[in-house]
């Protein structure tokens, strides 16, 4: 008679710590996924961009915000270029002025699956006349920025820049990825030999979703 009431108490006493353990494990898992979510988003966005899957890419790119950022960044880059050249090279100044007139077509070209693919491969716009996104060489495609969680170290002896005007085939940039704040995540490319710095900025949308929303352009070697 005295044993029966004690049995339920032991059962409930055993279930309570198990429930707490499970709840803590779920919270830890959710926090871990929340932290890893921008890395996962970049991986999926890169795959969608390489496949030119516009429907899938819409989930990871805020095109209106990206257009605004591209227009602002390219405009500021051209302004710095003109101010930096003064009157020493009229041809470069003329090229910058022509480029300023072509900002809208350039923005339209980069706010596309092809443009996003170029941006995620560290190939930003240069602001030069006729500037268009270029596909990366097959050897680099899907390797340089598809896994931002493991940045590619700088090679010991980088190859010399190609003779063409394309800024991408030069020395492979050092790629890093990380949070800039609770709601901002950046993929950054640096070419130490030229001073070129470029970043693609993702903004948080909800708890686990991220979208490419902005770029940062540094003059570096694009003015050469």
Three-state SS string across the chain, please?
Answer: CCHHHHHHHHHHHHHHHHHHHHHHHHHHHHHHHHHHHHHHHHHHHHHHHHCCCHHHHCCCECHHHHHHHHHHHHHHHHHHHHHHHCCCCHHHHHHHHHHHHCHHHHHHHHCCHHHHHHHHCCCCCCCCCCCCCCCCCCCCCCCCCCCCCCCCCCCCCCCCCCCCCCCCCCCCCEEEEEEEECCEEEEEEEECCCCEEEEEEEEEECCCEEEEEEEEECCHHHHC
Model pLDDT, residue 196: 77
CA 50-56-58 angle, to 5 degrees, is 105
Strand partners, 179: 185
End-to-end CA distance of the chain: 93
Q: Model confidence at 206, in pLDDT bands (50, 70, 90)?
A: confident
Q: Is the pLDDT of residue 113 over 70?
A: yes
Q: Is the pLDDT of residue 222 over 80?
A: no
Q: Is the pLDDT of residue 172 over 80?
A: no
What's the predicted TM-score (pTM) here?
A: 0.69
CA 185-167-178 angle, to 5 degrees, is 15
Integer Cα distance of 214 and 19 in angstroms: 43
pLDDT in tens, 152-171: 444 444 443 343 344 444 55
Q: Where are the domains of the chain?
A: 14-138+170-223
Nearest to 41 by CA among 205, 217, 182, 174: 205
| 134-145 average pLDDT score | 49
Region of poorest pLDDT, from 63-67, 93-97, 125-129, 147-151:
147-151
**Higher local confidence (pLDDT), 222 or 175:** 175
pLDDT in tens, 13-24: 667 777 888 888
Structure tokens at 174: 């050092």
In the sheet with 174-181, reading across from the earlier edge strand, the strands are: 174-181, 184-191, 196-205, 209-217
Q: Is the pLDDT of residue 53 over 70?
A: yes
| 34-50 average pLDDT score | 95
Q: Is the pLDDT of residue 203 over 90?
A: yes
Model pLDDT, residue 105: 85
CA 61 to chain centre: 10
Contact 209, 203 (CB under 8 A): no
Model pLDDT, residue 179: 96
């Amino acid at each position: 008679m005295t044993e029966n009431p004690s049995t339920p108490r032991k059962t409930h006493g055993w279930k309570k710590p198990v429930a707490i353990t499970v709840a803590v494990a779920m919270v830890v898992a959710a926090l871990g996924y929340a932290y890893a979510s921008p890395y996962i988003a970049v991986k999926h966005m890169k795959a969608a961009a390489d496949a030119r899957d516009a429907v899938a890419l819409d989930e990871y790119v805020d095109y209106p915000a990206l257009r605004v950022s591209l227009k602002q960044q390219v405009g500021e880059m051209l302004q710095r270029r003109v101010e930096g050249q003064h009157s020493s090279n009229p041809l470069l100044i003329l090229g910058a002025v022509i480029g300023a007139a072509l900002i809208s077509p350039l923005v339209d070209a980069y706010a596309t699956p092809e443009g996003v693919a170029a941006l995620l491969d560290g190939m930003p716009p240069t602001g030069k006349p006729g500037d268009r996104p270029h596909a990366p060489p097959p050897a680099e495609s899907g390797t340089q920025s598809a896994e931002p969680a493991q940045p590619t170290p700088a090679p010991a002896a980088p190859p010399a820049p190609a003779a063409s005007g394309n800024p991408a085939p030069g020395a492979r940039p050092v790629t890093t990825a990380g949070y800039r704040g609770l709601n901002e995540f950046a993929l950054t490319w640096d070419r130490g030999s030229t001073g070129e710095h470029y970043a693609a900025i993702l903004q948080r949308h909800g708890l686990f979703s991220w979208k490419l929303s902005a770029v940062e352009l540094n003059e570096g070697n694009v003015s050469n």
